[in-house]
Amino acid sequence: MSVLYILVIAALFVAIGFLIAFIWAVKSGQYDDTHTPSMRIILDDKRTESSDKKQEEKENGN
């Protein structure tokens, strides 16, 4: 039964890890604006021909 001492404390540390993650998320401003990210998620960058060309030019230049 005394293994409980270790297990309970280990479990608490895992939970504290999540609490710290939550606090970090709040402090970094992730809860300040909850609307825009929902619109942002449908946007993604497409590679266009000319952007590929530019990329090539850059690589060749280096």
Partner 1 sequence: MRLIQVTAVKTEQATLGCYHCGLACPDDKIAIEDKYFCCNGCKTAYEILEGSDLCQYYELNETPGTTPAEFGFKEKYSFLDDEKTRSQLYQFVNDNIVTLTLTLPAIHCSSCIWVLESFYRINDGVTNSKVNFLKKQLTISFDKTKTSLRTIVEQLASLGYEPEFNLADLQTKVGEKNLRSLYIKIGIAGFAFGNIMLLSLPDYLQKFDTIPQNFQIFFSVLNIILALPVLFYSASGYFKSAWGSLRKKAINMDVPISLGIITLFIRSFYEVGTLSGVGWMDSFAGLVFLLLLGKLFQEKTYQALSFERDYKSYFPVSIIKLEAGKERSIALSQLKVRDRYIVRNNEIIPADSILINGKGLIDYSFITGEADVHSKVSGDMVYAGGKHQGGAIELEVVKEVSQSYLTQLWNNDAFNKHQDARITVLANTVSKYFTAAVLLIASGAALYWLPNYTYAANAFTAVLIIACPCALALSTPFTLGNTMRIFGRKNFYIKNTAVVEVLSNIDTIVFDKTGTLTESGSSGTEFMPAEQTNYPEAKLFSLIRSVTWHSTHPLSRKITQFLMDYEVLDEVEDLEELPGKGVQAIVENDLVKVGSEDFIVADINMDNDGRSKVLISINDKFAGFFAIQGTYRTGFKTVLSDLNKHYDTLLLSGDNDNEKEVLSSYFSDGSRLYFNQSPIQKLEKIKSLQSANKKVLMVGDGLNDAGALRQSDLGISITENINAFSPACDGILESNSFSRLYNLIRFSKTSMVIVKISYLISLLYNIIGLSFAVQGTLSPLISAILMPLSSITVVTFTSVGTNLLAKLKLD
Nearest to partner 1 of 6, 60 (CB atom): 6
Residue carrying the six token digits 């280096």 = 62
Distance CA 8, CA 20 (A): 18
- Residue pair 25/31 in contact by the 8 Å Cβ criterion: yes
Closer Cβ to partner 1, 9 or 60, answer by number: 9
Residues at the interface with partner 1 (CB under 8 A): 1, 4-5, 8, 12, 15-16, 19, 22-23, 26-27, 29, 31-33, 35-36, 39-40, 42-43, 45-46, 48, 50-51, 54
Q: Specify the amino acid at residue 18.
A: F
